[in-house]
């Protein structure tokens, strides 16, 4: 899928859905595009991944396993100005937490992503 065809996240809660859709479609660049250029991911194993290049490499590595992200129970985003806290309870019981920021065009991108807070 090229960048012109990708739907942007118009609301913070769009990010999780778009991430799963793009992962299932094999669109690693599209997954990476849901993050700000200097975003950080805490993979919950002591590994922190920062920036688009590292985030893309993480998703390439994950794609090589053949596993797919599962749709969980997303909580309503908590929004304060241009920041939002998003969170999803995954089918395995893990809970994710992310911080998104509203961009100048009104769309949202993640800045911080923690895979599991349990």
Q: What is the pLDDT of residues 80-99, one digit of tens each?
A: 999 999 999 999 898 999 99
Instruction: Tell me if 50 is assigned to some domain.
Output: yes
Q: What pLDDT is attached to residue 1?
A: 55
Q: Rounded to an integer, what distance in angstroms lies between the CA atom of residue 23 and that of residue 75?
A: 21
Q: Which domain holds residue 96?
A: 11-64+72-114
CATH number of the structural domain spanning residue 33: 3.10.450.50
Average pLDDT for 8-28: 95
Instruction: Tell me if 20 is assigned to some domain.
Output: yes
**Which one is predicted more confidently, 74 or 43?**
74
Share of the chain above pLDDT 90, in %: 77
Q: How many domains does the chain have?
A: 1
Contacts of 37 (CB under 8 A, 6+ apart): 51, 52
Band of pLDDT at residue 4, cut at 50, 70 and 90: low
Average pLDDT for 97-117: 95
Phi then psi for residue 69, to 5 deg, are -65, 145
- Residue 28: pLDDT over 70: yes
Identify the CA nearest to 14 among candidates 81, 68, 89, 76.
76
Q: Rounded to an integer, what distance in angstroms lies between the CA atom of residue 117 and that of residue 6?
A: 29
Instruction: Tell me if 3 is assigned to some domain.
Output: no
């Amino acid at each position: 899928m090229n960048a012109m065809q990708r739907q942007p996240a118009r609301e913070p809660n769009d990010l999780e859905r778009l991430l799963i859709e793009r992962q299932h479609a094999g669109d690693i660049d599209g997954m990476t595009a849901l993050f700000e250029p200097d975003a950080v991911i805490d993979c919950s194993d002591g590994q922190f991944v920062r920036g688009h290049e590292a985030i893309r490499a993480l998703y390439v590595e994950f794609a090589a396993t053949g596993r797919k992200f599962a749709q969980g129970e997303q909580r309503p985003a908590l929004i304060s100005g241009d920041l939002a806290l998003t969170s999803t309870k995954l089918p395995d019981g893990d809970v994710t937490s992310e911080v998104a920021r509203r961009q100048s065009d009104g769309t949202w991108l993640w800045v911080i992503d923690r895979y599991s807070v349990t």
